[in-house]
Structure formats: C-alpha cells, structure tokens
Amino acid sequence: MIRHLHATERVALAAEIAQGDRERQQALVAAVQHDLFWQSRDTVQIYNHAISNAEAHERLQTAYIDRLKTQPRSAREAAAVIVGSDASEGGLAQEAVQRLARLNRLRSGGSS
C-alpha cells in the first residue's frame, strides 16, 4: 500500500513539475519508471488513469460542497430564493424554474 501511494505521488509530482511540457513529463515519468523498476509502460498508464479519476472526483466533490455552502440555511431564506426577486409568472425565481426543468429532464431520461 505504501509503495502504491509513493508511486502515485511521484507520477503526480512529475505531471506537476512538467507544467504541461509533454517532453519534460515523459522524461520525469521515465525516471519514475526507472526508480521503481517498472518493466511495462502500461503501469504508468494505470497510474495516470487513477490520478485523472481521482482529480475528477475531487473537483466534483469540491464544486458540490461549494454549491451546498451557498444554499439557504433556513426555511425563510429558502422561500426567498424559491420565490426570489426575479420571479416569473408562475411565482418562481428563474434559478428555481431552471432546476425544476433539469430535474424533470432527468426524471424523463433526458440529458441536462
């Protein structure tokens, strides 16, 4: 487990140090491969895939938590957001109308 963590950190560090320079990243990853005695380039691809998935998960979680932090904390605040100052003819704020439409599309199997 510690070896896996060590390898993951080194591959991620190589990408960070390279700062988008593909040649430099390949050289750094080659150094990681040499240091860890990896025989197959597939091993690097597995780590890159795992790191990409972890980064995507982290971004999603961060965005979700940030959204939750901006949500109303009381029933009064929630009512003000739902009715809002930009209320449409139906009495709902535009954001509430958009969210309801998105939820209805999801329920019917459509995409957002």
Would you kindly state where each structural domain of the chain is located, as residue ranges?
A: 1-70, 72-112
Number of H helices, E strands in the chain: 5, 0
23: left (phi over 0), alpha (psi -120 to 50) or beta: alpha
Q: Dig out the tokens for 34 from the structure.
A: 């040499």
**pLDDT given for residue 78 in this prediction:** 77
88: left (phi over 0), alpha (psi -120 to 50) or beta: beta
CB atoms within 10 A of CB 87: 14
**pLDDT given for residue 36 in this prediction:** 83
* 37-90 residue pLDDT tens: 888 878 878 887 888 888 888 888 988 888 888 888 888 787 777 776 555 555
**pLDDT given for residue 57 in this prediction:** 84
> Where do we find the tokens 């199997």?
109
Q: What percent of the chain has pLDDT over 70?
A: 88
